[in-house]
Amino acid sequence: MNTNLALRRICATLAIGACMLAPAQAQELTFTLVEQFVIGDDEEASAEYLLSFPKMVRTDSKGNIYVQDRRRMDIRVFDATGQYVTTIGKRGEGPGEMRDLIGMHMDDQDRLIVADRISARFTIFTEMGNGIETSSFVDERTISPHPILSLEGAYVLKYVRLIDDPEEDLPYINDDNTLHLHDSKLNRIESFARLDELFDLNRPFLKADSDSPDALIMATNGIDTIILAPHIYSGYVYRYTRSNGSWDMEKLKGSPAPRRAYIPYSERDREANPDLRGAGMTISGPTGIYRARVLNWSVGMAILSTSEFVNFTKQTPLGGKVGNKAELFDQDGSLQGYGPLRFDSLELNSNRRVMGSISILWTDGNDRVYLRRRNEQGYYVLSVAELEISSK
């Protein structure tokens, strides 16, 4: 039986605070991606449509789609039907040029904001790139401000501040907060979300991963709420809500997760056990090199127009089949249901290479989902889909 996104709540309203919420009687659900169109799937198309690895996606108030490809220092713009419009920015050091584009966001004024790690500055593009402003990073030792998301009259950025260790000549973490609130002029005004709230810093692999650009999967409601999960997903989603000038954190229990989210291993272990090689991660940091086989991932987060939110996950068990799933939480933070994530195409669902490559990059105000996946030939494409949720 089909249900709409505004599924009936199954919990009473819970007080906001630093607490852990137990799952209610969650339903078994099916999450279906109904593709509307795909950008980059036609090898005969002109170069503007071809993608190597779509890394960041945002949309503006007109439905235009802004795509940053990993190998390029520009942003391609497509209209709401997937037709190429223009390209903004280019590689370089001058105004409107980037050397290492690490963050991108479209605010509620249709201003495109990009962060250049090497140049240590933000560039703000207006009028499809015809207007250009720049703003230097406030913290000189900021690395990888990604993602950038909007809140009411402000922006929230994920990054870690570093300073040099004069004895070891290596950078180390100087700030134990990972989320930073910036005002409308991109000046930092507040920091919150302690690293040890989100990561087990007693585990070397997780500690090393905690300051990587993609360590957190995040979404906001654009006003006062941030939903996030570590991409190495242990079964808990975190919600930060701004109330009376402070941030309240809730730890929300998701669906049943594997007993271990990852298995650390040495290079010798990897050579001895072929099962460890798939879905492996190697993290190099100032304290060493750490390797692990990840079993459970968060690959996307979306806050829907109903105020419900979805965590998209992927399971990569040893010697097993990749499993794509999703979890639906109501606006009170209770788990409403969970189940498989699939396409409306049997051909896509049966292609292991396609299903193993899904990452949710963005969800717009109309609940349209923008995801990166491989096509049948193995190339990365950008899929634009409607999300349908139904009960089993």
> pLDDT digit string (tens) for 286-309?
678 999 999 999 999 999 999 999
Query: 208 is written with which tokens?
Result: 């090393």
Cis peptide preceding 95, ω within 30 of 0: no
pLDDT, position 169: 61
pLDDT in tens, 105-133: 999 999 999 999 999 899 999 999 999 99
Strands 380-391 and 368-374: antiparallel
**What is the identity of the amino acid at 267?**
E
Least confident piece of the model among 24-33, 62-71, 234-243: 24-33
Q: What's the angle, vertex CA 259, arms to CA 256 and CA 262, rounded to 5?
A: 115
Cα 316 → chain centroid: 18
Q: Is the pLDDT of residue 167 over 80?
A: no
Query: 266 is written with which tokens?
Result: 């040495």
Residue 33 · residue 341 · CB < 8 Å: yes
Closest CA to 33 of 299, 255, 253: 299
Neighbours of 228 (CB within 10 A): 26
Alpha carbons 106 and 48: distance in angstroms, whole number: 21
Q: φ and ψ at 196, to 5 degrees?
A: -75, -5
Half-sphere exposure of 290 (CA within 13 A, CB side): 19
pLDDT, position 267: 86
Closest CA to 298 of 287, 289, 309, 308: 309
pLDDT, position 18: 37
User: pLDDT category, 253, cuts 50, 70, 90?
Assistant: very high
Alpha carbons 381 and 385: distance in angstroms, whole number: 13
pTM, entire model = 0.90
The DSSP secondary-structure symbol of 2 reads B
Alpha carbons 198 and 251: distance in angstroms, whole number: 9
Q: Is the pLDDT of residue 15 over 80?
A: no
Look-up: residue for tokens 């280019």? 90
Alpha carbons 317 and 312: distance in angstroms, whole number: 17
Dump the DSSP string for 225-238.
EEEEEESB--SEEE
User: pLDDT category, 141, cuts 50, 70, 90?
Assistant: low
Please tell me which residue, 279 or 76, carries the higher pLDDT value.
76
pLDDT in tens, 212-229: 889 999 999 999 999 999
Residue 97 · residue 134 · CB < 8 Å: no
Alpha carbons 288 and 363: distance in angstroms, whole number: 36
Q: What percent of the chain has pLDDT over 90?
A: 71
Which residue stretches of 284-363 are H helix? 346-349, 352-355
Q: Average pLDDT over the chain, rounded to whole?
A: 88
Alpha carbons 339 and 357: distance in angstroms, whole number: 18
